[in-house]
Chain A
Amino acid sequence: MSEAIGAATAMDSGENISAWATIKRGAEISPELKQGFWGTMALALLGTAGRVVVPIAVQQTLDKGINGPNGVDQSYVVAMALLAAAAMVLTGISSYLMTARLFTTAERGLATLRIKAFRHVHDLPLLTQNTERRGALVSRVTSDVDQVSQFLVFGGIIGIISVGQIVVATVIMLFYSWQLTIVVWVCFLPLFGSLQYFQRRLSESYGTVRQMVGQMLSVVAEPVVGALVVRTHAIEDRTQARIDDSIRRYQAASTRAQGLTAFSFSLGGLSGGLANALVLIVGIWLGFDGQITSGEVLAFAFLVTLFVSPVQMGTQVLTDGQNAIAGWRRVIGILDTPADLDDPGTTGEQLPHEPLGIAFDHVEFRYPDGPPVLIDVDLEIEPGTRVAVVGETGSGKTTFAKVLTRLMDPTAGSVRLAGHDLRDVGFASLRRRVVLVPQEGFLFDSSLRDNVLYGDLAAGTERIREAIDELGLTDWLDGLPHGLDTRVGQRGESLSAGERQLVALIRAHLADPDLLVLDEATSAVDPALEMRIGRALEALMSGRTSVTIAHRLTTAENADEVIVFDRGRVAQRGPHQALVAEGGIYGRLHASWTAQQS
């Protein structure tokens, strides 16, 4: 249900920002939008004046030049036609300039918004990223922004023209009769008043619509990514039912919003009809007073139509605008979600290029709203040590690795590397010196080369081959159909699971870190290859610090020190032999491992 979905998101939905605040904040984020704003406005006014002049000139020609009391007045017709033509050229030029400028600023501003939002998603803490579904995140940087851009360039043009036309029409009406102008405005006041109410309702409606888009995309993305599971268990029907449900909800939300839009739009016409009638009636009444002639009343009735259509267009723009604002809010919502792992940036401390010592100082970590997963972890690891971390499933090993590499900050206590509190270290230095190979490796849909280059962008083919050779993987590379140019497929799925891990390892090796953290990095690799890589890594990491999480205890046997986790606590520490002698949890794990090997 919708309550459950998205309810847990830690990302700002932006719903609490008012429309005006959204626009202001949006313009702040994309300063391009403000560039040349007044120039565009001036052009709009100029173009609008032209737009009003043409119909008036035509009307005057008909009234006075052709249908006048003295028959056809040719010179009058020519003069008016010239005037209209001049106005048309003027309108054309200013309309060209305005549209071109509007497109330019809008597209520029929105590209900036898109890129900033995208970047900010990556700057968000891992945990926040995980609370929002990927499909919904994608919709924020794609279709939500598209919605804003569509509105700014299409609605924007119409909106600006409409406002200009309303102003110009009002000025001309005032010129004819101020009393009747007031009558017209009074007729429209209820409309303008009710607009407030409709804006609020529409804003809610369109907020729901945008949310539904994000949700629909998530629901569609899931079975596409998990196509294998859907197929093996033949749950297409249930999956389709879920998708259909999200599509239906999006459709219902859109239809509801459209109904509201149509209704509010139709109100403009009602006011127009009322205004027309009252202008005639009040006009007659004023005429009895001798304040106005019948010709003037008729001319005024014509002016009212020039006033009504832009009001109607304007209401439409305002209502359509709510959809855009809703999208805008969601994008701004990303930017307003704090990147709480603050990067101290260039002012931050730099890690030295040397083996890094690790110190955990009474570290506690709990996931939001959860029990502590790391409890009072207090340990020191000498620089250059090879550490193995073992423990049961769910004991907190991966969490330990993430806190160690500052993917998450501890909820209590602190972590120091080479004496520097991690929170004070600049990210650039941290990511350069400390590399984690995560449990669930991820490859980009690109070539093998591009994927390993993620570790070191500057590496040439030579260096890549060398690194692969150092890991003892040249045979493997040579067996690939296109060598380094082999495409790895989405998420690396055109490689075997073991091969994916090899790529992640090469990538990490190329990064040449001083602290390497491997979280089950070779769990899917065959034993012979794993041992070969293990030996190679051992040689490569000599003199550096490494933390290796593994279920296969061979790693632990070869490590300088073993750390045993048990339900979030460090239960045992020491070299393999000592721990085996000690018994306890490690003794049990080891016994079970040995049993499996016989």
Chain B
Amino acid sequence: MSTDPATDDTLVDASRTTLMDGFRVLGVAIRREPWVFTLSTLGSVLFGALTVADAWVLGWSTDHVLLPAFRTGETSAGLLWAVLALFVGVAILRAVGIVARRLGAGVMQYRMQAAYRREVTSQYLRLPMAWHQRHPTGQLLSNANADVEAAWAPIAPLPMAVGTVAMMAIAVAQMLLVDLTMAVVGLMVFPLVTVATLTYQHFSSPLFTRIQALRAELSEIAHESFDGAMVVKTLGREAEETERFAAKANELRDLGIRVGRIRAVFDPILEAIPSLGVLAVLGVGVYQIQHGNAGAGDVVTIAYLLTIVAFPIRSIGWLLGEFPRSVVGFRRVHRVLDEPVRTTYGDATLAATGTGARLEVDRLGFGYPGGAALLDELSFTVEPGQTVAIVGETAAGKSTLTTLLTRLVDPGTGRVLVDGTDVRDLAPGQLAGHAALVPQTAFLFDDTVRGNVTLGEDVSDEDVWAALRTAQADGFVAALPHGLDSRLGERGTTLSGGQRQRLSLARALVRHPRLLILDDATSAVDPEVEARILAAMRSTRADADAAGSTLVLIAYRKATIALADEVLFLADGRIADRGAHEDLLLRNPAYAHLVNAYETTAAEVVAGE
């Protein structure tokens, strides 16, 4: 025990709040599932009542059948049938009670789990990218699984505990009626159980908090490690990864053992208290009888009532014992649920004109938290149907710019306008309906080819094939065993890098976006294929004349860049230069150095030889 009274106080406080919070968590569940709760509690009360009835049946059978039979040496078949019917009848009703209680508790528990899982996952879908980047996948999995499970674990013993409380109330009332002194002695059991439980919580709560956090960390490590399994393999780092995992697993093990030790102390204490109560009642009872304050029958009744509640009283212990874990899980889940979704939407809509969108970037500024400004006072306009290429060194902020244009991230300063409307004023889903981004790294879902291209939208197979053709993906898709219905495996593992990229491209093309942003989306594609893709895109644009979509390209290849009406050269967070590709080549040495690198080097090599 700590010698510092202040810390002691806070600790006691902590366990008291755990108790209160535990009840509050349960309150949430009861408010949300009142009917199932009522049903299972009724089942539990039925069970409790029939447990008492069992004793009554035994008493009745003893008085009316057993004793007379032994006294007179005879009995009637009717009476024996009655005994059988009574016992079996009570047993059947009790079974009904049990099924109602347990099934009810299960239904309630699983409903709450499912509800919270739905809420927490839909929150994942709402929260901004920046939040996702801060929270490891493994941890989010743990929130949706282990934490939700922990939060609602007390529901399982809840109906039984409530039934017990009802039973106890009756028992207490009876005891008090029979003999006040003995009843008070017997009732000491309840505060003792409470104190013991609180003490248990005081010691175990911090451990459970840590355990639940460790579970998440373990799941984080596992998810990350399996995600990077290929790197682990290629560098032969299996042993080090295992060690990383083992360190956490062992910490979890040691905490588990510590929890076990604490339980080992409190379990027998909790179990002994009711028995001690009975012994105390017997002691006091003997005294009371000898002093003529009570009859022998009174002692028997009170002792009997105590033994009846002695066992179920533990179910209250089980309930309270789940509280620390539950409160911790609930808090961890709510940390996600209570995270404010700062992304706000307006209700503006964009007109489906069929022509390209007008994109305007107005004094845009952005920096990642904790870093210097990455983009600074960026302004440019892309007229409908125009193509703009953005060129810049590695880490110049090109991908960051694409995330701002598509409102994956909101800018620090300045605005992004599509058709004259600030993207922040658009209604949800509007921007996605008009603009498409093909990200630098292709991400495919564990779904069919069709599912990956349409993303669940109602698109005809012809349109899917047309998009695949443009992205030059029709050939290999046709060669797959089930064509459009072939499943791709998680993240599209069964495809080559270039094949994945082309599906990701087709996914954007099939939507006929009015604004298409390609973030270096052809890097893993052979030059030959890229040339064909660009040709196809150019031809669709030519077909539709001015109605072609607005294109923003991030690229290094000269052929790609040459396609643009204007090139923006991004350097040091600003547009360092802009204009036609040829003009920039002539007037900007930095630009020329960047895009001419291949030839220059090749020339140097030739010259050097």
Nearest-neighbor residue (CB-CB) of B84 within chain A: A277
Determine the distance from Cα of A557 to Cα of B494 in the docked complex, in whole angstroms: 31
> When the two chains form their complex, are residues B265 and A96 in contact, meaning their CB atoms are under 8 A apart?
yes
B38 sits at the interface (CB 8 A): no
A66 at the interface (CB under 8 A from B): yes
A529 to B174, CA, bound (A): 88
- In chain B between 584 and 607, which residues have their CB closer than 8 angstroms to a CB of chain A? 593-602, 605
Contact between A111 and B268, CB atoms less than 8 A apart: no
Interface pair A123/B145, CB less than 8 Å apart: no
Q: Would A138 and B138 be within 8 Å (CB), given that A235-B456, A497-B440 are in contact? A: yes
| A243 and B222 contacting across the interface, CB-CB below 8 Å | no
- Which residues in A have their C-beta under 8 angstroms from that of B370? 481
4 smallest CB-CB distances across A and B, nearest first, come from A103-B260, A273-B91, A431-B236, A393-B498
* Chain B residues positioned under 8 Å from A283 (CB to CB): 66
Q: What residues of chain B lie closer than 8 Å to A534, measured between beta carbons? A: 601
Is A269 part of the contact surface with B, judged by Cβ < 8 Å?
A: yes
Please tell me if A589 contacts chain B, counting CB pairs below 8 Å.
Answer: yes
CB pair B525–A393 under 8 Å, yes or no, is yes
Q: Nearest chain-B residue to A588 (Cβ)?
A: B528
Give the interface size class of chain B: 35 or more
B490 touches A130 (CB 8 A): yes
A453 to chain B, nearest CB (A): 10
Which residues of A119-176 have CB atoms within 8 Å of chain B's CB atoms?
A: 119, 121-123, 126, 129-131, 133-135, 137-139, 141-143, 146, 149, 153, 157
B87-A557 in contact (CB<8A): no
The interface-forming segment of B2-10, B124-132, B200-208, B543-551 is B124-132
User: Is A108 part of the binding interface, using a Cβ–Cβ cutoff of 8 Å?
Assistant: yes
19 CB contacts below 8 A, A to B, read A5-B446, A58-B278, A108-B257, A121-B229, A218-B490, A222-B490, A229-B439, A229-B443, A232-B408, A232-B436, A236-B126, A240-B125, A247-B114, A269-B94, A273-B88, A277-B88, A284-B66, A432-B236, A491-B224
Closest to A535 in B: B601
Judge if B381 is at the interface, Cβ distance under 8 Å. Answer: no
A84 and B275 contact, CB distance less than 8 A:
yes
Q: Contacts A62-B304, A398-B497 known; list 16 others, CB within 8 Å.
A: A5-B446, A61-B282, A66-B286, A100-B264, A103-B256, A111-B253, A133-B446, A143-B146, A228-B408, A233-B455, A239-B125, A240-B121, A240-B122, A280-B87, A428-B236, A445-B136
B309: interface (CB < 8 Å): no
Residue B429 lies at the interface, judged by CB distance under 8 Å to chain A: yes
Q: Which A residues from 211 to 254 make CB contacts under 8 A with B?
A: 213, 216-218, 220-236, 238-240, 243-244, 247-248, 250-251, 254
Instruction: Decide if B382 is an interface residue (CB 8 Å cutoff).
Output: no
Contacts of B593 in A (CB 8 A): 528
Q: How far is the CB of A440 from chain B (nearest CB, A)?
A: 7
Chain B, 232-254, CB within 8 A of any chain A CB? 232-238, 240-242, 245-246, 249-250, 252-254
- Distance in angstroms between the alpha carbons of A72 and B256 in the assembled complex: 49
Given contacts A72-B296, A88-B272, A228-B443, contact A115 B558 (CB under 8 A): no
B425-440 residues with Cβ-Cβ distance < 8 A to A are: 428-429, 431-433, 436-437, 439-440
Q: Is A198 in contact with chain B by the CB < 8 A criterion?
A: no
Query: In residues 100-142 of chain B, which contact A (Cβ within 8 Å)?
Result: 101-103, 106-107, 110-111, 113-114, 117-118, 121-122, 124-126, 129, 132-133, 136-138, 140-142
Would you call B507 and A233 a contact (CB within 8 A)?
A: yes
B75 at interface by CB-CB < 8 Å: yes
Cβ of B497: which chain A residues have Cβ within 8 Å of it?
393, 398, 439-440, 520
Are A251 and B113 in touch, CB under 8 angstroms? Answer: yes
Query: In chain B, what residue has the closest Cβ to A499?
Result: B395
A228 touching B129 in the complex, CB below 8 Å, given contacts A100-B260, A103-B263: yes
Bound together, the chains give a CA A392 to CA B528 distance in angstroms of 8
B87 close to A220 (CB less than 8 A): no
Decide yes or no whether A183 CB sits under 8 A from chain B: no
Q: Chain A contact residues: over half helix, strand or loop, or mixed?
A: helix
| Residues in chain A near residue B498, CB distance under 8 A | 393-394
- Select from chain B the residue with minimum beta-carbon distance to A441: B231
Separation of A216 and B145 alpha carbons in the complex (Å): 9
Number of A-B contacts (CB under 8 A): 522
B368 at interface, CB cutoff 8 A:
yes
Q: Could you tell me if A491 and B117 are in contact, using CB atoms closer than 8 angstroms? A: no
Shortest distance in angstroms between A200's beta carbon and chain B's nearest beta carbon?
A: 20
> Is B78 an interface position by the 8 A CB rule?
no
Contact B490 A123 (CB under 8 A): no
- For chain B, residues 45 to 79, give those with C-beta under 8 angstroms from any C-beta of chain A: 54, 57-58, 61-62, 65-67, 69-70, 73-75
A203 at the A/B interface (Cβ < 8 Å)? no
Do A592 and B432 have beta carbons less than 8 Å apart? Answer: no
A16 contacts B by Cβ under 8 Å: no
CB contact list, A4-53 vs B, under 8 A: 4-5, 8
Q: What separation, in Å, do the CA atoms of A527 and B597 have in the docked complex?
A: 6
Question: What residues of B have a CB within 8 angstroms of the CB of A276 in the complex?
Answer: 54, 57-58, 87, 91
Interface string of B395-408 (1 = CB under 8 A from A): 10011000100101
Task: Using known A-B contacts A431-B234, A454-B235, determine if residue A92 contacts B103 with beta carbons closer than 8 Å.
Answer: no
Residues of B within 8 A of A558 (CB): 605
Q: Is A431 a contact partner of B235 (Cβ separation < 8 A)? A: yes
| Contact between chains at A135 and B493 (CB < 8 Å) | no
Given A66-B289, A119-B242, A431-B234, CB of A258 within 8 Å of CB of B103: yes
Rounded to whole angstroms, the CA-CA distance of A214 and B569 in the bound complex is 47
For B599, the chain A residues whose CB sits under 8 A away are 597
| Chain A residues within 8 Å of B24, by CB | none
Q: Does B575 make an interface contact (CB < 8 A)? A: no
Is the pair B106, A122 in contact by a Cβ cutoff of 8 Å? Answer: no
Contacts A442-B228, A597-B599: A557 and B531 contacting too (C-beta < 8 A)?
A: no
Give CA–CA (A239, B446) in the complex, Å.
12
Across the interface, B95 reaches (CB within 8 A) one of A62, A250, A270, A554, namely A270
- Name the one of A146, A251, A557 contacting B111, with C-beta atoms under 8 angstroms: A251
Q: Tell yes or no: A418 within 8 A of B by CB.
A: no
Q: Looking across the interface, which residue of chain A has its beta carbon closest to that of B281? A: A58
Bound CA span A111–B289, Å: 58
A67 touches B300 (CB 8 A): yes
The complex places the Cα of A325 from the Cα of B596 at a distance, in Å, of 64
Which of A221, A258, A437, A597 is B110 in contact with, Cβ under 8 Å?
Answer: A258
Task: Note all chain B residues with C-beta closer than 8 A to A454.
Answer: 231, 235, 237
> Is B230's beta carbon under 8 Å from chain A?
yes
Known contacts: A114-B249, A301-B58. The answer to whether A262 contacts B141 by CB under 8 A is: no
Q: Which chain B residues lie closer than 8 Å to A4 at the CB level?
A: 487
Say yes or no for A455: interface residue by CB 8 A criterion: yes
Best-surrounded residue of A62, A96, A393, A407 (most CB of chain B within 10 A): A393
Per-residue CB contact flags for chain B residues 266-288 toward chain A (1 = under 8 Å, else 0) read 01110110011011001101100
- List, in ascending order, chain B residues with CB within 8 A of A588's CB: 528
> CB-CB < 8 A to A484: which residues of B?
none
Which of A95, A227, A442, A596 interacts with B129 by CB under 8 Å? A227
Taking a contact as CB atoms under 8 Å apart, the answer to whether B141 and A444 are in contact is: no
Question: Which residues from A are CB-within-8-Å of B133?
Answer: 489-490, 493-494
A142 touches B215 (CB 8 A): yes
In the assembled complex, which residues on chain A have CB atoms less than 8 Å from the CB atom of B432?
A: 231-234
Q: Mark A572-598, 1 if CB is under 8 A from B, else 0.
A: 000000000000000011001101111
**When each residue 277-292 of chain A gets 1 if its CB lies under 8 Å from chain B and 0 otherwise, what string results?**
1101101100110000
- Indicate if A498 sits at the interface (CB-CB under 8 A): yes
A118 near B66 with CB under 8 A, answer: no
Q: What's the minimum C-beta distance from A55 to chain B, rounded to whole angstroms?
A: 7
Q: B145 near A110 (CB under 8 angstroms)?
A: no
A337 beta carbon closer than 8 Å to chain B? no
Would you call A267 and B523 a contact (CB within 8 A)? no
Is B178 an interface residue, CB under 8 A from the partner? no
Asked whether A359 is an interface residue with its Cβ less than 8 Å from the other chain, the reply is no
Assess the A251–B110 pair: CB atoms within 8 A: yes
Contact between B75 and A284, CB atoms less than 8 A apart: yes
Are B268 and A91 in contact, with the CB atoms below 8 A? yes
> Which of the residues B223, B496, B527 comes within 8 Å of A221, measured between beta carbons?
B223
Bound together, the chains give a CA A595 to CA B237 distance in angstroms of 43
